[in-house]
């Protein structure tokens, strides 16, 4: 799909799924093959790991500063996961959207709800589903050493995640990774063509009618 060259407002592309449905693969391909979308860089209180760069993978900070940022209402969404805090800073996203930059969000339904409440018209929510419960279980069993109990708890978690499917704009079933990628990328390209995002249309149509 070729884009036209009019000025447009960027969008926030949310990709959610139960773990094991292939979301990470799809997200990586989007970032590799589409030059207009980037991962949003989160602020986190978790310690930096070897190989990570501050400001590239995450913006690393401490709990006091994170709490102050919440207090100053500087996050579009934030969450605590296993004792560490993660948040999406408003300023970076707002500036990017204005310049036509799209952002990819790999977040769960709670983060999605927070984003949507604040930035409704800029958010496009896509949910991936596995083709069957058997396929999902097989993907979750990939580490052969896990006990049935661990598998059982992962499946429960997946069912819980699936139960929020109806809070999304689009649903794609990941039966074949190639077809699934085409569909997800197609949604992104179509959403860029929405009249309301193409801010350049005001001047463009005015010139056409001169």
Minimal CA–CA distance to 6: which of 197, 188, 193, 200? 200
d(CA 78, CA 114): 8
Stretch of residues binding a copy of itself (CB under 8 A), selected from 39-47, 48-56, 106-114, 127-135: 127-135
Q: Is 150 helix (H, G, I), strand (E, B) or coil?
A: helix
Task: Verify binding: residue 183, a copy of itself, rule CB under 8 A.
Answer: yes
22 contributes a contact to a copy of itself by CB under 8 A: no
Are 15 and 104 contacting, i.e. CB atoms less than 8 angstroms apart? yes
Burial class (CB in 10 A: 0-12, 13-18, 19+), 38: middle
Q: Interface with a copy of itself includes 35 (CB under 8 A)? A: no
Q: Which of 132, 150, 152, 177 binds a copy of itself (CB under 8 A)?
A: 132
Q: x-or-dash pattern for a copy of itself, window 189-208, by CB under 8 A? A: xxx-xxx--x--x--xx-xx
Could you give the 3-state DSSP secondary structure of residue 137?
Answer: helix
- Residue placing its CB nearer to a copy of itself in the complex, 27 or 136: 136
Question: Cα separation of 124 and 179, whole Å?
Answer: 20
Q: What is the contact surface with a copy of itself in residues (CB under 8 A)?
A: 1-2, 4, 6, 127, 129-130, 132-133, 136, 159, 162-163, 165-166, 168-173, 175-176, 179, 182-183, 186-187, 189-191, 193-195, 198, 201, 204-205, 207-210
């Amino acid at each position: 799909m070729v884009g036209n060259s009019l000025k447009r407002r960027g969008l926030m592309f949310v990709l959610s799924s139960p773990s094991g449905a292939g979301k990470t693969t799809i997200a990586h391909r989007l970032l590799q093959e589409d030059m207009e979308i980037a991962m949003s860089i989160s602020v986190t209180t978790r310690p930096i790991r070897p190989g990570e760069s501050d400001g590239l993978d995450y913006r690393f900070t401490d709990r006091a500063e994170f709490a102050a940022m919440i207090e100053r209402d500087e996050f579009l969404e934030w969450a605590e996961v296993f004792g560490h805090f993660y948040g999406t800073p408003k300023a970076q996203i707002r500036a990017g959207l204005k310049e036509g930059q799209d952002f990819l969000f790999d977040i769960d339904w709670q983060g999605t709800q927070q984003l949507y409440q604040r930035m409704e018209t800029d958010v496009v929510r896509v949910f991936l589903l596995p083709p069957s419960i058997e396929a999902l279980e097989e993907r979750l069993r990939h580490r052969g050493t896990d006990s049935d109990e661990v598998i059982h708890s992962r499946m429960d978690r997946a069912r819980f995640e699936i139960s929020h499917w109806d809070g999304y704009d689009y649903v794609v079933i990941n039966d074949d990774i190639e077809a699934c990628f085409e569909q997800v990328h197609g949604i992104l390209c179509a959403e860029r063509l929405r009249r309301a995002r193409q801010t350049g249309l005001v001047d463009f149509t005015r010139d056409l009618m001169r």
